[in-house]
Structure 1
Amino acid sequence: MKTNGVRVKKGQAVLAGRVLGALVLGGLWTVTAGNQVEAARDYSNLQDLGKVTLVEEKKEPVVVQAEPETAAEDTYAGGQVSRKSSIGVLGKKDFMEVPFNVISISEETMQNQQASNIIDVVANDSSVTDLTLSGASNAWSIRGFKTTQQDVQLNGIYGVAPRYYTGIEYLENVEILKGPSAMLSGMAPNDTVGGVINYVTKHAGDEDKNTVTLTYGEGHQFTQQLDMSRRFNDGKYGVRLNVLNRGSQEDAYKNESNSANTVFMGFDAKGERWRTSLDMGYIYNDIENPQYQVTMSQATANKLTALPSVSDDATFGAPDTYRRVTEKFALWKGEYDLNDDWTAWAAFGMRNTSQDGLSNRFLLNNVNGNARVSYVHNRQINKAISSEFGVRGHLQTGSLSHEVSIAASQVRYKVYEDKPTVTPTYTTSVYSPSWQTYTDGSYGPYLIRDNRVQQSVGINDIISTADNRWNFILGGRIQQVKDTSYSYSGSTLKSTTRYDETAFTPTFGIVHKVNDRMSLYANYAQGLSLGETAPDGTENAGQTFAPYKTTQYEVGAKFDFGKIATTISAFTMKNPSFITTDDNYYALA
């Protein structure tokens, strides 16, 4: 391919909403938002009922303010976009100094657009295309390659960010790095190669924060959010709390409702030579009647001369289906300055995601519009443990300066499943779908299904000339992936190591600062994906292929005009694909 388990009943958790509402009675104002970032969703009925900041001063009564916060110094005018982004093992860099196309979208932008979902935010970037089908299937593509929430980083670490929930109430920035980034961050858990999205969490600022935000949206969707922060001991310690409660009868998708209860806390501390942070989150997200896509076999697709014409408000998600998710995560990070030139860092994170989902498949099986409906009940527990440590420092060789980074990382994933059998399977029409009452199977224990370990070591060197006009980046990462799947014969557990492979991914880049306002850059980068397994029916069925690489060549120019900045780039990406050959072998094309 080439391309330029507990259900929250209705009414529960409304106490927080009542308390928050009492705080701001008499101080609400309404702003109507028009269509903002994507045609698939209608935000025309979304209303921001108000953002009220409560500031408590010594020996003074509470003062109510409605003024926006001052933009941080590292953002452009208006505070919409940050100048610096986290570039994997390279650390935090000004976008003019790195040979990659990267953008960091600030909290200010999210608030101004009344964004509530990561899709709303990333749609600001022209390299990103929304592939979302419903609240239960958020997906997007970067530079033409699909990615999902499962491949998002949290403060630069894979495996810790919420696996399904896409709310953004706890985020300070959303960073988007376009192109493969295996050298910078390691291999993405689900093989994303078009780019990487990094969540930067909120921490306490220099000023105390007491903000209540009430939002009323389409489908009677009422959201209450509390955002508070404090610093202690002359600013050495900080804590930030975000609480959100959202209930809805229907969201932007017909017949679908989406409610959530979330709590996030961010702690940070800093000393003369050290910095540390701890982020923790709890999420309960209930989506009722999620809408899914119509699928078809290759044989049916070959016979179609045109797609079936259905009404704009047609739905193909069966009634009484659902997805209920509970997510808990925590991430600790720390840095220590060994001396004036060298810094060591470490990170450790964990996530536990419990999902109970009943969904239907709607398979178009002939050109006349007949379709087969079947049900899938997936009860799953997904666990991840992530760790990273490294050092970064400066060296001098003659007139050239070197910024060297060495890092090692590991992510461990375990998946436990129980899949009750759901009946019936029946035939209907894509033009006027009918639904039958389903019968759910009995629940069994959660059994381990998959155990994957991804570990890597990366090293890179940023070489700069004496006048800092030329920067060269040389780096690479050795990535090992071991994946073991499990099956059961009665009570007997059988394990199969599908994978135990190692691959090396290099990256090269160059930046030339023409002047203070213009940089030219070029890069060669690689992405890494797990090799597929030959399907049943092929001559080599069951064969697992080694990891394969996506390669990118990119050139571009960056312009910084003080109040605004822009990047112009041209790239080509080549990603191998798998095919079934004429002699019925499954192989790389």
Structure 2
Amino acid sequence: MNNHETARRRGPKLPRPLQIAVWLTFAAAAPSAFAQTATTANDSAAAPAGASAAASAAASATGAEKALPAVNVNAAAVVDSPLHLATPVSSGALGTRSQLDTPFSTTVVTGEDLADRQANKLGDVFAGDASVTDNSSAYSAWATYITVRGLPIDWQNGFKIDGNPFISYGITMPYENLERVELLKGAGGFMYGFAQPGGVVNYVTKKPGKDPVTSFDIGYRMDGVLSQHADLSRRFGPDGMFGARINYTHEQGKTYNAGDINRNSVALALDGQLTRDLDIYFNAIYQTSRSSGQTPAIYIPSSYVGTSLPATISGGSNLLNSAGQHLNTNLQLYTAGVKYQITPDWTFNTSASYSKSARDRNESTLTLLNQSGDYSDYRWNGDEGHQDIYWQGAFEGKVKTGPFTHQIVAGASIQHQTNDYSTAAGTAGGTLGAGNLYVQNPYAFYSGSGLDKYRASEINQKALFLSDTMQITSRWSLLAGLRYTNYDQESFSEAGGTTSSYGKNGVVTPTFALMYKLEPETTLYASYVESLEAGQVVSDIYANGGSVLNPLRSRQYEVGIKSEHARWSANAALFRIERGASYANDQNVLMQDGNSIYEGLEAGASVRLGRSWQVAGDIMLLDTWYAKGQTYNGKRVAGAPQFTAATRVTYDVPYVPGLQLGVDAKYTGNTEVRPAGDLETGGYLLVNVGANYVTRIGGHDVTLRAALDNITNRRYWMFQYDSYIAPGDPRTISLNAKIDF
């Protein structure tokens, strides 16, 4: 049975409406796909991002010329630097504006960047951003764990798909299906509502464009994971008024730590330009993933004996793996929306989404006992499910009052979230026994799926928001925004009774910013924003497990500069974030006490040197401490490195047109593992190399990619979460070949 048959037989069974939509997509695309093979290369899919004008011309020339390779596949970097400051980003209640005009620190990683890096987890996506620390582990429930400016991303409220909320825990996105990934750093309370102040990650899916797309790629990742990805996009109907795009990804095989992965994902995007002023759209994502053999989480309790962490081990080792562990997930997201151009200056957007995610976990947590590496293996098994129903409507436009022009965004949103967890009778496992990090884990615990669940909590948010960006002069502008939220959170027992609740109407989270255009391509800004995050449900590892803590308010102050030019771009920001602190005390009770303070500087730049070299660098200096508390005043905040730096250098080989070589490195400084400030991960440097080659074969664009990560096979402890660590990823190689028809 070939790979295509395997992917087809083992792929997910899609819901009926999505099956019909997929069938319509292929039906509409088929005639143009056959016709396309008979046309010139100019009618084929758009050249890869980065193709030069010379390469485009060669693609549309005579047959002899079409056989020639592309002249230079990276000249477009002169127009769009790796910082992508001119790229529009979604800023929630601020509407859509470019990074350059957003008075907060942001990062954009394009789909081409993701393909070049062959990202496998969220930490890979932001490898070039020093403000982002990688806490993620591929193929596991930790795959989306990162910290931004030393603060974690809220897995319940900090992740969006096309601006719509979903529960990210345990979900590795199909990066091949994405147009780009956006990161809003810091507090996002005004823009998105209740969320931790680490930031907000927004995944932007691929949409049908004006040009047809037909591409297919295959990939390999150590030790034996094979992947296939197809991307098909067409416009059809009178004057191309309807568009459809579908992306399908399948990966399966043996992971670098002797585990297994089988993942299938499909993303569908449909749109209709019904009139000159009225557009409609429908997007859907459906993904199933089954993995086993993942490395367990390592927890360090207050009773740990030792002054430092045990000697490092390789993340590629299977010594910690105990039989029976698995993570099976399912993600569904359906979105429909309407955009209406009311007048030349005013638009109305409204959309509704439904997301559903589920996890079946059989997972070990190794409680580390001492510096020698002894541990107790505790196995947890259970099913979890989440649903998010979301609606938002907003007016966006311009008005004039005397000499001032106002950019107005006014709207409302409603969100209903439910969390379902396994009943006590449905969970099983317990303590399996003792072990040591350097000896093969001998234990096994097997379990099935389909366990009984109960409604554990419900969260409701209703919000009104308004922002006004007033253009005072040609250079000065002032932003003022306000979000007004009614918030309600309830937790329930298995019997259905309410165990805790929190509700508050009229929660106000404001934002203010002053912006100055030093020149059209350079923005100076000073901003202030507040956030309120939902009360934390205490994990069972703590003595007060199951209780709900009060919501925490955060305040953020930031001063920054962004500048985008043809051959260079740069940004920098000074920031201070004040957040309520929570940590476990000596009795292992998770408590709220005082504040966590984060002060830092982040700066990045990218410059093109000559015709062949591109150099980029990024740094973050961070000072953190606990304040106004009773226990850890003055100690560094757990999970916040004092210094990080990242750099990337690429070289377009002039003697081999289409070949680009690259090397990138990231240094992460010492990180406190727990609030007591007595254990550190130690600093570590990771170096990666890669190569991309674009050519033409048989009249089609072909892209070959290779990446070798952690080339020195550096062993290191990676901070994952407060009092949790993990062994870092080993040296891995990834290969990919893509053809555009």
- Residue 124 of structure 2 corresponds to residue 120 of structure 1: yes
Shift of 1:417: 2.6
1:505 aligns with 2:504: no
Q: For structure 1, which segment, 544-553 or 68-77, has the greater mean C-alpha deviation from structure 2 after superposition? A: 68-77
- For 1:229 and 1:305, how far apart are their aligned partners in 2? 57
* Deviation string, structure 1 residues 207-228 (Cα, Å, up to 9, x no partner): 1111011112211211111100
Contact 1:337 1:343 in 2 (8 A): yes
In the alignment, which residue of structure 1 is the partner of 2:441? 434
Residue 267 (1) aligns with residue 270 (2): yes
The 8 Å contact of residues 297 and 364 in structure 2, kept in 1 or not, is answered as no
Query: Are 1:14 and 2:6 an aligned pair?
Result: yes
Of 234, 258, 261 in structure 2, the residue corresponding to residue 258 of structure 1 is 261
Distance 1:242 1:539 in 2: 46
Q: Is residue 521 from structure 1 mapped to residue 546 from structure 2 by the alignment?
A: no
Equivalent residues in 2 for 1:17-28, closer than 5 Å: none
1:246 correspondence with 2:248:
no
Match of 2:601 in 1: none
* 1:149–1:164 contact (8 Å) kept in structure 2: no
Query: Residues 167 and 148 of structure 1: is their aligned pair in 2 closer, same or farther, counting only changes over 3 Å?
Result: farther
Partner of 1:235: 240
Structure 1 residues 399 and 549: CA distance shift in structure 2, 3 A: same
Q: Which has the higher contact order (CA 8 A, sep 6+)?
A: 2
Structure 1 residue 307 corresponds to structure 2 residue 332: no
| 1:207–1:553 Cα change, 3 Å | same
- Give the match for residue 475 of structure 1: 481
Q: How many residues align?
A: 535
TM-score calculated relative to the size of structure 1: 0.82
1:197 equivalenced with 2:204 (yes/no): no
Aligned residue identity for 1:456? A
Deviation of 1:376 (Å)? 0.7
Kindly indicate whether the alpha-carbon contact (under 8 Å) linking 1:118 and 1:167 is maintained by their aligned counterparts in 2: no
Q: What CA deviation, in whole Å up to 9, does each residue of 1:252-295 have, x standing for no partner?
A: xx122222111111011223112222110111111111112321
Other-structure match for 2:467: 460
Measure the CA separation in 2 of the matches of 1:167 and 1:66: 21
SS in 1 for 2:255: coil
Tell me the distance in 2 between the aligned counterparts of 1:500 and 1:434: 46
Residue identity opposite 1:373 in structure 2: D
Deviations 1:99-120 (A, max 9, x none): 1222322222222333344432
> How many Å separate the matches in 2 of 1:441 and 1:214?
32
Measure the CA separation in 2 of the matches of 1:212 and 1:394. Answer: 43
Distance 1:326 1:58, change over 3 A: closer
2:409 to 393, 398, 405: 405
Aligned partner of 2:577 in structure 1 is 573
Q: 1:285-344 CA deviation, whole Å, 9 max, x = no partner?
A: 1111111232121121xx421211254355423222100112211111221122233222
Change (3 A) 1:322 1:166: same
Q: Which stretch shows the higher mean deviation, 400-409 or 71-80?
A: 71-80
**8 Å Cα contact 2:104/2:184 also seen in 1:** yes
Choose the corresponding residue for 1:333, options 330, 337, 341: 337
**Partner residue, 2:174:** 167
Letter in 2 for 1:256: G
Alpha-carbon shift at residue 470 of structure 1 (Å) = 1.0
Alignment correspondent of 1:31: none
**CA–CA distance in 2 between the matches of 1:576 and 1:400?**
39
- Is the aligned partner of 1:109 residue 2:113? yes
Cα deviation per residue 1:78-123 (whole Å; 9 max; x = unaligned)?
5753522112122221222221222322222222333344432222
What is the aligned partner in structure 2 of residue 371 from structure 1?
A: 375
SS at match of 1:260: strand
* Farther off after superposition, 548-557 or 496-505: 496-505
Within 1, Cα distance between the matches of 2:134 and 2:590? 34
Q: Secondary structure at the match of 2:254?
A: coil
Map Cα deviations across residues 15-68 of structure 1 (whole Å, 9 max, x no partner): 5599xxxxxxxxxxxxxxxxxxxxxxxxxxxxxxxxxxx965469269697983
- Is the 8 Å Cα contact of residues 105 and 185 (structure 2) preserved in structure 1? yes
The whole-number CA distance in structure 2 between the counterparts of 1:363 and 1:58 is 59
Q: Secondary structure at the match of 1:14?
A: helix
CA distance in 2, matches of 1:299, 1:143: 29
Q: Is the 8 Å Cα contact of residues 321 and 360 (structure 1) preserved in structure 2? A: yes
Residues 292, 326 of structure 2: 8 Å contact kept: yes
Alignment CA distance shift 1:76-1:560 (3 Å): same
SS in structure 2 at match of 1:299: coil
Matched AA of 2:266: V
**Cα distance between partner residues in 1 of 2:241 and 2:81:** 25
CA distance, structure 1, for counterparts of residue 544 and residue 9 of structure 2: 58
Q: Which residue of 2 aligns with 1:355?
A: 359
Q: Secondary structure at the match of 1:69?
A: coil
Q: Which amino acid aligns with 1:417?
A: Y
Determine the structure 2 residue equivalent to 1:77: 79
Aligned to 2:711: none
Please give the residue correspondences for 1:90-105 in structure 2 after superposition, counting only pairs within 5 Å: 90-105=94-109
User: Does structure 1 residue 155 correspond to structure 2 residue 157?
Assistant: no
Give distance in 2, aligned partners of 1:574 and 1:116: 32
- Give the equivalent residue in structure 2 for 1:495: 498
Extract unaligned runs of 5+ from structure 1: 1-9, 19-53
1:287 is matched with which residue? 291
Read off the aligned partner of 1:248 and give its amino acid letter: G
Contact 1:133 1:292 in 2 (8 A): no
- Structure 1's 346 and 75: CA in aligned 2 closer, same or farther, altered over 3 A? farther
Q: Is the 8 A contact 2:324 2:446 kept in 1?
A: no
TM-score (norm 2): 0.66
Contact 1:576/1:588 (8 A) holds in 2: yes
| Match status 1:486 vs 2:492 | yes
Cα offset, 1:530, TM superposition: 2.2
Write the distance in 2 (CA, Å) between the matches of 1:96 and 1:570: 16
Does the 8 A contact of 1:462 with 1:474 survive in 2? Answer: yes
Q: Is the 8 A contact 1:149 1:166 kept in 2?
A: no
Q: Distance in 1 between matches of 2:437 and 2:168?
A: 37
Helix, strand or coil for the counterpart of 1:108? Answer: helix
Are residues 67 and 218 of structure 1, via their aligned partners in 2, closer, same or farther at CA, if it must alter by over 3 Å? farther
C-alpha separation in 2, matches of 1:587 and 1:566: 38
Deviating more after overlay: 307-316 vs 547-556: 307-316
Letter in 1 for 2:92: G
Contact 1:538 1:586 in 2 (8 A): no
The 3 A distance-change label for structure 1 pair 67 and 551 is same
Distance 1:572 1:442, change over 3 A: closer
**Equivalent residue number for residue 68 of structure 1:** 47
* Mapped partners of 1:537, 1:194: distance in 2: 24
